[in-house]
Structure 1
Amino acid sequence: MQPQEPSFLEIIKAYLGSSKAVLPVFSATGMKIQREAAKAEPDTGVIERMITCDPSLTSQILRISNSAFYKGLQKVATVRTAIVRLGNQEIANIAILVSQKKQFKAKEPFINALMQNLWRHSVGTAISAQWIANRCGLKAKAQEAFTAGLLHDMGKLLILTVTDAVKRNGMLKQMPAERLLSEVMDNFHALYGYALLRHWNLPDAYCRIARDHHKSGPEKGNGLMMMVRLADKTTNCLGIGLHPPDACVLAATPEADYFGLSEVTLAELEIKLEDSKVFW
């Protein structure tokens, strides 16, 4: 009797448990810039030096600073000018976006296309979470909300990265059907995301959001979790990500009720997301 071939999920688990496993790498530069920007009195010189030490990061920040989203009367030609125009916090957000985007690339065209959709969802959730924090008078949590939103679905990135790797090294003979891959991501991304963020040694709040952002019911005292849950639902409702638009009434969700956000107010968030496509 011929031995049964391992399932797609078994291949994923075997690879992750092997010494050959290559995981996505977290770029610490963006997080360091965010930490400095979050201080009561951030040092603009320190932020400038951290950015200019990375030529790729510098060019991307200048490009985005001169985009239609931020464009002023004068062209931004230096990082210092970009910081003055956009402010420390906005520059910090752009820095972490640029540094993380490098992870969303794959050799296999099918996987790469999914990664681009996942990137759009991650960015949309980050911008939404930050908007919710600012709109609800929780500006002290705005940058934390942005980062938590950006990292909430890293488990899906891990699964896609591993799928790309096992296809190229021959462990996976043929690419799984999109439906199967989607099912594995939907069911296991929270667990894998939690493990990956722990591996990156990130704060526990981010790890728990990666693990629990699909759980239901209000979490009293954990506004950050509720921001990301609402932001995630907002992007899903608009079809920003791996799935078609999810028909839902955002104002009727427990998260919207938690923050007292009306349908009219949430419509403002949808407009904000339309305007932010420069980051995609």
Structure 2
Amino acid sequence: MNNVAEQWNEQAFIEELLSDLESGRLVLPTLPDVALRVRDAVEDENASASNIAKAVSTDAALSARLLQVANSPLYRPRTPVDNLQTAIARLGQKQIQNLVISLVMQQMFQATDEVLEVRLRGLWEHNVEVAAICHVLASAIPVLQSDQALMAGLVHDIGILPILVRAEEVHELLDHPELLDSVTSKLHTQIGAHILKQWSFPETLVHVVQEHENMAYDHDGNADYTDLVIVANLKSHAGTDHALASVDWSGVSAFERLGLDTEMEVIIMDENLGQVEEIQEMLGG
């Protein structure tokens, strides 16, 4: 490991990656047309279930998945849902938007390289877990919306994706996880913010991506979505070998702004474990 680390120049790799990011040479994930059409339909002030259904129906696999979710135990339907308009009415427009983006994002986290595929799958499962925790915690916090919280959790680590794709070209990175972890920890928040700006996501979510691993993050006023993702991310990494697993939660001010102490957060999550798991299943995690 030491010999590899000595031979491989991490700083040169980082500088090249950032240069490619700024020049547009770095391959970044893009949202498919169907996701953009659904987002436009939902954000239209005259949005209707019919318009949204029309946007979704252009993708047969996506349509089938949304119907499956609408009929899942999470929504406990009394009668089967057999058409998109009814599914949209049952799930809600914002939830449909979140599900569509979740489903198209899931397709991004795939690779032909076996080592990379395992890592991407683990990353997707982590994103889904953080999204589910965010959704549950936000439901008890009046100033935060559960739908927005879920999306914040889903995209918080999107910046790791282009790094892993580039890593396919650098055997030292794929063969030595410690090197790859070091690079991703230094770059993924900056790259992730760049991606969300390209996707025209709200500045609130761009801020989440930029700051979610900043344990010194502090601000006046009410809790925000960055506070929420910081806490959910810590919860997800607890008990793993991730660097954040060693963080002393008592020193993280996000807990206080969310009205949680560390023991209370554990209790809340234990009580809502079933709901977290249902949301994870819904999102494909």
Provide the TM-score with structure 1 as the length reference.
0.79
Look up the equivalent residue of 1:237 and give its one-letter code: A
Q: Does 2:203 match 1:198?
A: no
Deviation, structure 1 residue 102: 1.5
Q: Which residue of 2 aligns with 1:219?
A: 219
Q: Partners in 1 of 2:243 and 2:74 — Cα distance? A: 26
Look up the equivalent residue of 2:166 and give its one-letter code: V
Q: Which residue of 1 aligns with 2:268?
A: 265
Q: Which residue of 2 aligns with 1:231?
A: 232
Q: Which residue of 2 aligns with 1:122?
A: 127
Q: Does 2:275 match 1:276?
A: no
Instruction: Map residues 86-101 of structure 1 onto 2, 5 A cutoff.
Output: 86-101=91-106
Look up the equivalent residue of 1:154 and give its one-letter code: I
- Structure 2 vs 1, CA of residues 253 and 36 (structure 1 numbering), >3 Å: closer, same or farther? farther
Deviation, structure 1 residue 177: 0.5
Look up the equivalent residue of 2:156 and give its one-letter code: H
**SS at 1:135 equivalent:** coil
Q: Residues 35 and 100 of structure 2 are in contact (CA less than 8 Å); yes or no, is this contact kept in structure 1?
A: yes
Q: Residues 128 and 269 of structure 1 are in contact (CA less than 8 Å); yes or no, is this contact kept in structure 2?
A: no
Q: Partners in 2 of 1:252 and 1:272 — Cα distance? A: 28
Look up the equivalent residue of 1:84 and give its one-letter code: A
Q: Residues 129 and 227 of structure 1 are in contact (CA less than 8 Å); yes or no, is this contact kept in structure 2?
A: yes
**SS at 1:186 equivalent:** helix
Deviation, structure 1 residue 269: 4.4
Q: Partners in 1 of 2:138 and 2:65 — Cα distance? A: 26
Q: Residues 134 and 153 of structure 2 are in contact (CA less than 8 Å); yes or no, is this contact kept in structure 1?
A: yes
Q: Does 2:85 match 1:80?
A: yes
Among 134, 139, 142, the residue aligned to 2:146? 142
Deviation, structure 1 residue 28: 5.9
- Structure 2 vs 1, CA of residues 22 and 38 (structure 1 numbering), >3 Å: closer, same or farther? closer
**SS at 1:246 equivalent:** helix
Deviation, structure 1 residue 115: 0.8
Q: Could you list the runs of 5+ residues in structure 1 that have no partner in the other structure?
A: none
**SS at 2:139 equivalent:** helix
Deviation, structure 1 residue 235: 1.7
Look up the equivalent residue of 1:75 and give its one-letter code: P
**SS at 2:175 equivalent:** coil
Among 108, 113, 117, the residue aligned to 2:113? 108
Look up the equivalent residue of 1:14 and give its one-letter code: E
Q: Partners in 1 of 2:17 and 2:247 — Cα distance? A: 37
Superposition RMSD in Å: 3.3
Q: Could you list the runs of 5+ residues in structure 2 that have no partner in the other structure?
A: 1-5
Provide the TM-score with structure 2 as the length reference.
0.78
Q: Residues 211 and 217 of structure 2 are in contact (CA less than 8 Å); yes or no, is this contact kept in structure 1?
A: no
Q: Partners in 2 of 1:35 and 1:267 — Cα distance? A: 37
Q: Partners in 2 of 1:173 and 1:252 — Cα distance? A: 36
Q: Residues 251 and 266 of structure 1 are in contact (CA less than 8 Å); yes or no, is this contact kept in structure 2?
A: no
Q: Residues 26 and 162 of structure 2 are in contact (CA less than 8 Å); yes or no, is this contact kept in structure 1?
A: no
